[in-house]
Amino acid sequence: QVQLVESGGGSVQAGGSLRLSCAASGYTTSRKMMGWFRQAPGKEREGVAAISPGGVTYYADSVKGRFTISRDNAANTVYLQMNSLKPEDTAMYYCAADLGSTWYTKVRALSEEYYNYWGQGTQVTVSS
Protein backbone atom coordinates (compact mmCIF):
# COMPACT_ATOMS: atom_id res chain seq x y z
CA GLN A 1 0.00 0.00 0.00
CA VAL A 2 1.41 3.34 -1.08
CA GLN A 3 1.50 6.02 1.58
CA LEU A 4 2.94 9.52 1.57
CA VAL A 5 3.33 11.48 4.79
CA GLU A 6 4.35 15.12 4.73
CA SER A 7 5.88 17.06 7.59
CA GLY A 8 7.78 20.27 8.20
CA GLY A 9 5.15 22.88 7.60
CA GLY A 10 4.68 25.83 9.91
CA SER A 11 4.55 29.58 10.24
CA VAL A 12 7.45 31.83 9.30
CA GLN A 13 8.05 35.46 8.50
CA ALA A 14 8.76 36.63 4.98
CA GLY A 15 12.33 35.90 4.03
CA GLY A 16 12.48 32.83 6.22
CA SER A 17 12.99 29.19 5.33
CA LEU A 18 11.27 25.87 5.83
CA ARG A 19 12.07 22.33 4.76
CA LEU A 20 9.22 19.99 3.97
CA SER A 21 9.65 16.23 4.06
CA CYS A 22 7.65 13.51 2.35
CA ALA A 23 8.20 10.00 3.68
CA ALA A 24 7.02 7.31 1.30
CA SER A 25 6.15 3.70 1.89
CA GLY A 26 4.90 0.92 -0.35
CA TYR A 27 7.18 1.75 -3.26
CA THR A 28 10.65 3.16 -3.99
CA THR A 29 10.68 6.91 -4.53
CA SER A 30 13.87 6.84 -6.57
CA ARG A 31 12.12 4.89 -9.32
CA LYS A 32 9.22 7.26 -9.78
CA MET A 33 8.46 10.91 -10.39
CA MET A 34 7.81 12.74 -7.15
CA GLY A 35 6.21 16.15 -6.96
CA TRP A 36 5.24 18.90 -4.57
CA PHE A 37 2.03 20.82 -5.12
CA ARG A 38 0.32 23.59 -3.21
CA GLN A 39 -3.15 25.00 -2.86
CA ALA A 40 -3.96 28.39 -1.41
CA PRO A 41 -7.48 29.22 -0.20
CA GLY A 42 -9.75 29.98 -3.13
CA LYS A 43 -7.17 28.91 -5.69
CA GLU A 44 -6.53 25.81 -7.75
CA ARG A 45 -3.80 23.40 -6.79
CA GLU A 46 -0.58 24.11 -8.64
CA GLY A 47 2.64 22.24 -9.23
CA VAL A 48 5.62 23.64 -7.38
CA ALA A 49 8.51 21.24 -7.98
CA ALA A 50 9.17 17.70 -9.15
CA ILE A 51 12.07 15.28 -9.41
CA SER A 52 12.32 12.47 -11.94
CA PRO A 53 13.77 9.00 -11.35
CA GLY A 54 16.92 10.21 -13.09
CA GLY A 55 17.20 13.18 -10.78
CA VAL A 56 16.04 15.85 -13.21
CA THR A 57 14.27 18.62 -11.36
CA TYR A 58 11.45 20.87 -12.49
CA TYR A 59 10.21 24.07 -10.89
CA ALA A 60 7.37 26.46 -11.30
CA ASP A 61 8.60 29.86 -12.40
CA SER A 62 7.24 31.41 -9.20
CA VAL A 63 9.61 29.38 -6.99
CA LYS A 64 12.63 28.82 -9.21
CA GLY A 65 15.79 29.96 -7.46
CA ARG A 66 14.12 29.88 -4.05
CA PHE A 67 12.91 26.28 -3.67
CA THR A 68 14.95 23.10 -4.07
CA ILE A 69 13.56 19.59 -4.38
CA SER A 70 15.79 16.67 -3.43
CA ARG A 71 15.58 13.01 -2.61
CA ASP A 72 17.21 10.72 -0.04
CA ASN A 73 17.02 7.29 -1.60
CA ALA A 74 18.13 5.48 1.55
CA ALA A 75 15.37 7.12 3.55
CA ASN A 76 12.83 6.88 0.72
CA THR A 77 12.06 10.51 1.38
CA VAL A 78 11.67 13.58 -0.79
CA TYR A 79 12.34 17.09 0.48
CA LEU A 80 11.38 20.60 -0.49
CA GLN A 81 13.76 23.26 0.82
CA MET A 82 12.01 26.62 0.70
CA ASN A 83 14.08 29.77 1.09
CA SER A 84 13.26 33.47 0.80
CA LEU A 85 9.64 32.69 1.53
CA LYS A 86 7.00 35.21 0.54
CA PRO A 87 3.44 35.71 1.82
CA GLU A 88 2.18 34.44 -1.54
CA ASP A 89 3.80 31.08 -0.76
CA THR A 90 1.18 30.54 1.94
CA ALA A 91 -0.72 27.37 1.08
CA MET A 92 -1.32 23.74 1.92
CA TYR A 93 1.58 21.79 0.45
CA TYR A 94 1.08 18.26 -0.85
CA CYS A 95 3.51 15.55 -1.82
CA ALA A 96 2.52 13.29 -4.70
CA ALA A 97 3.80 10.29 -6.60
CA ASP A 98 3.44 9.49 -10.29
CA LEU A 99 3.73 5.75 -10.53
CA GLY A 100 2.61 5.38 -14.14
CA SER A 101 4.60 7.75 -16.34
CA THR A 102 7.75 6.70 -18.12
CA TRP A 103 8.63 9.96 -19.83
CA TYR A 104 8.63 13.46 -18.49
CA THR A 105 8.48 17.11 -19.44
CA LYS A 106 8.18 20.16 -17.23
CA VAL A 107 4.51 20.58 -18.08
CA ARG A 108 3.82 16.93 -17.35
CA ALA A 109 5.89 16.90 -14.16
CA LEU A 110 3.97 19.84 -12.69
CA SER A 111 0.51 18.64 -13.75
CA GLU A 112 -1.50 16.98 -11.00
CA GLU A 113 -3.42 14.80 -13.46
CA TYR A 114 -0.44 12.45 -13.81
CA TYR A 115 -0.02 11.81 -10.09
CA ASN A 116 -1.67 8.76 -8.58
CA TYR A 117 -1.00 9.08 -4.87
CA TRP A 118 -1.16 12.05 -2.55
CA GLY A 119 -0.22 12.87 0.99
CA GLN A 120 -2.52 14.58 3.45
CA GLY A 121 -0.77 17.93 3.16
CA THR A 122 1.15 20.23 5.46
CA GLN A 123 0.32 23.90 6.00
CA VAL A 124 2.82 26.65 5.27
CA THR A 125 2.00 30.18 6.40
CA VAL A 126 4.26 33.12 5.60
CA SER A 127 3.56 36.43 7.30
CA SER A 128 4.73 39.81 6.07
Distance separating alpha carbons of residues 82 and 52, to the nearest angstrom: 19
For the segment 27-56, what is each residue's pLDDT rounded down to a tens digit? 877 788 999 999 999 999 999 999 999 999
The reported pLDDT for the residue numbered 99 is 87
pLDDT value at residue 63: 98
Whether pLDDT at 79 is above 90? yes
Please write the tens of the pLDDT for every residue from 92-128. 999 999 988 888 999 999 999 999 999 999 999 999 9
C-beta of residue 10 within 8 angstroms of C-beta of residue 18: yes
